[in-house]
Structure 1
């Protein structure tokens, strides 16, 4: 083996731990954004600081440490931001900087393109009750494809720091993950985004992050 090839191999080996640490940090950041998996969780509001507009999908659960939903907690932390929370159990209401909207995740989202700098759905990709994810759509179906497409459409792709974080792990088996990965590859080719699937520290599916594709 030539010296150049040896050096290239060593460079690849040296990069693996750094990549693993980066992925672990990203999973940790996502966990902080959504308050982890437990009830009455503490939410880190710092990752929302750069966003002007934030959308919380399927946000009816009172899951944060102060008994608020994620959307309510972030609206309270940042009164200058425009925060929208949606769920099929909601009626339309506006309180200060927080808009509460009825929304069915199997239908087109009632928002214009590029509306939100951050989009978050906590537990919505879990499959703990029946055949649908907690976000309401069938995991391997045209509904699933439309959901991810709509998230991508309303994400502000003009903002390089924009990000959608969609979390949930229970019941997401490899066939479901592979179907979502295929959808992500199609979105990357057609919508100018990057979609990454994260694994939890204890193994298995953790979350999906969608962000504008980086330009060279």
Structure 2
């Protein structure tokens, strides 16, 4: 029953999104056409009503509520679809680090989801710490992955996903002057974790290099 309601809500969301996209598309077409041809009264009425309703929505509290709900939904979806929530079952950790131990913000892949400048990493002799920037943290608990839970670490030339030619990755690496680490976990062999190597590479145990 729970799965039924979940699937039903997804379908309703798709239908509402399609209706909104269609209504907005018609509005844009009519606005552009108004400058070239004379529109019938019903078309002009549609443009006026749509513009009034859209402006009213943007200046109402409903827009704020909708924006917040949408933001939380997107960040939660990232945490779920990237595999972050699954990792948190085992590796969730409440950080209590000193002020001298600072996280480095960068980009990378968690699962097949790309994190562009929102992924924060730190490493010491115990393991790897991961967290998302605060505005993107909903659903993504802080992670601590001990070195002994990591199967292997390989160096990547860029954050291009698998399938890109190696020479393209090399060129991007030369231009950006950055390298990345592809981390494989023992208990999650299919999980993709690719993070910026800055501040991490020197802490990797010799058996993983």
User: For the superposition of Structure 1 and Structure 2, which TM-score range results when normalised by the shorter chain?
Assistant: under 0.3
Largest Rg, 1 or 2: 2
Higher helix share: 2
Q: TM-score, normalised by structure 1?
A: 0.24
Q: TM-score, normalised by structure 2?
A: 0.25
